[in-house]
């Protein structure tokens, strides 16, 4: 965690999130909560997921419609443990298995495309800011 970047974010509040009242009150946990809250109107693509999560996104009827070779390909993807659907190969394979439009594709898009938190926008996907991070940034 780059505390200089975090301090600059909190002090300048470039997206007008509204940290100042919480900072003035000494509410580090409140500032951290704001930084960890998804921001509407912004989008990130977080395609990394455990194979069991991907499996749950597959429509049962669409799975049943796959032929044996397609199911073998899908089992290969699911057997990786973790899948990154922002990668060209995994994405191409999933697109080849499920038509567009389809429930499975819609489910995957809805899972992969989401609103980021400000912490993720600053420090990367799945980043999380704690009240200690806020305290160190402001007073460390």
Query: Per-residue pLDDT tens for 69-102?
Result: 999 999 999 999 999 998 888 888 999 999 889 9
DSSP helix/strand/coil, 91? helix
Contact between 28 and 135 under an 8 Å Cβ cutoff? The reply is: yes
Tell me which of 19 and 42 has the higher pLDDT: 19
44-45 and 113-114 strand pairing: antiparallel
Query: Per-residue pLDDT tens for 32-70?
Result: 999 999 999 988 988 899 999 999 999 999 999 999 999
Would you say the pTM of this structure is higher than 0.95?
A: no
**In this predicted structure, what is the pLDDT of residue 37?**
97
Nearest to 67 by CA among 101, 22, 98, 111: 98
Rounded Cα–Cα distance for residues 99 and 129 (Å): 39
**In this predicted structure, what is the pLDDT of residue 87?**
84
Q: Which residue has the tokens 């999933």?
A: 94
């Amino acid at each position: 965690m780059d505390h200089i970047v975090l301090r600059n974010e909190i002090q300048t509040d470039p997206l007008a999130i509204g940290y100042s009242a919480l900072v003035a009150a000494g509410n580090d946990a409140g500032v951290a909560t704001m930084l960890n809250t998804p921001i509407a109107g912004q989008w990130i693509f977080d395609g990394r997921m455990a194979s069991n999560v991907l499996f749950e996104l597959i429509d049962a009827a669409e799975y049943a419609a796959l032929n044996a070779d397609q199911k073998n390909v899908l089992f290969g993807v699911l057997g990786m443990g973790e899948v990154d659907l922002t990668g060209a190969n995994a994405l191409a394979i999933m697109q080849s298995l499920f038509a567009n439009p389809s429930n499975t594709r819609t489910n995957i898009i809805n899972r992969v495309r989401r609103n980021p938190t400000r912490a993720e926008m600053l420090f990367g996907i799945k980043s999380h800011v704690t009240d200690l991070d806020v305290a160190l940034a402001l007073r460390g």
